[in-house]
A and B are shown apart, each in its own frame.
Chain A
Amino acid sequence: MALILNGDAELWAIVLLSLKVSIFAVLISALIGMPVGAALAVARFPGRRVLIVLMNALMGFPPVVVGLLVYLMLSRSGPLGVLELLYTPTAMIIAQVVLVTPIIAALTRQVVEMLAEEYSEQLRSLGVSRLASVPVLLWDARLALVTALLAGFGRAIAEVGAVIIVGGNINHVTRVMTTTIALETSKGNLALALALGAILIGIAVAVNAMVSTLSLQAEREGLRHA
Chain B
Amino acid sequence: MIRNVIRAAWIAVGLTAAPVSAEEPFIVVQSTTSTQNSGLLDYILPGFEAETGIDVRVVAVGTGQAIRNAINGDGDVLLVHSKLAEDQFVADGWGVERFDVMYNDFVLVGPKSDPAKVRGGMDIVAALTAVSEVEAPFASRGDDSGTHKAEMRLWDWADADPTDASGTWYRETGSGMGATLNVASGMGAYVLTDRATWQSFGNRGDLEILVEGDPRLFNQYGIILVNPDKHPQVRVSAGQRFIDWLIGPDGQAAIASYKLEGQQLFFPNAK
Contact = CB atoms under 8 A, between A and B. Distances in A.
A90 B10 contact: yes
Contact of B57 (A21, A76, A77, A170): A170
Interface stretch (A34-42, A141-149, A185-193): A185-193
Nearest to A92: B17
B58 A171 contact: yes
Given A186-B182, A187-B178, A87 B59 contact: yes
Contact of A186 (B3, B6, B33): B33
B231 A76 contact: yes
B60 A173 contact: no
Nearest to B6: A83
A192 to B, nearest CB: 9
A168 B28 contact: yes
Interface centre among B42, B179, B204, by most chain A C-beta atoms within 10 angstroms, is: B179
Contacts of B202: 187-191
Interface in B1-23: 3, 6-7, 10-11, 13-14, 16-20
Interface string A67-91: 0000100011110011111111110
B115 interface: no
Interface residues of A, number: 37
A44 interface: no
Contacts of A173: 18-20, 55, 57
A169 interface: yes
B18 A76 contact: no
B67 to A, nearest CB: 14
Contacts of A186: 33, 37, 175-179, 182
B14 A85 contact: yes
Nearest to A172: B20
A146 B14 CA distance: 25
B73 interface: yes
Contacts of B218: none
A81 B73 contact: yes
A90 B178 contact: no
Given A84-B233, A173-B20, A187 B37 contact: yes
A83 B178 contact: no
Contact of B19 (A17, A82, A84, A86): A17
B20 A76 contact: no
14 contacts: A77-B74, A87-B59, A90-B14, A170-B58, A170-B59, A173-B18, A173-B19, A173-B57, A186-B33, A186-B175, A188-B178, A188-B201, A188-B204, A189-B203
Given A76-B233, A83-B7, A172-B20, 15 more contacts: A28-B13, A76-B73, A77-B74, A83-B10, A89-B17, A90-B10, A171-B42, A173-B18, A173-B55, A173-B57, A183-B37, A186-B33, A186-B175, A187-B178, A190-B203
Interface of A: 13, 16-17, 20-21, 24, 28, 71, 75-78, 81-90, 93, 168-173, 183, 185-191
Q: Which 10 A-B pairs have the closest CB atoms?
A: A186-B178, A76-B73, A188-B203, A90-B14, A168-B59, A188-B202, A89-B17, A188-B201, A170-B57, A75-B72
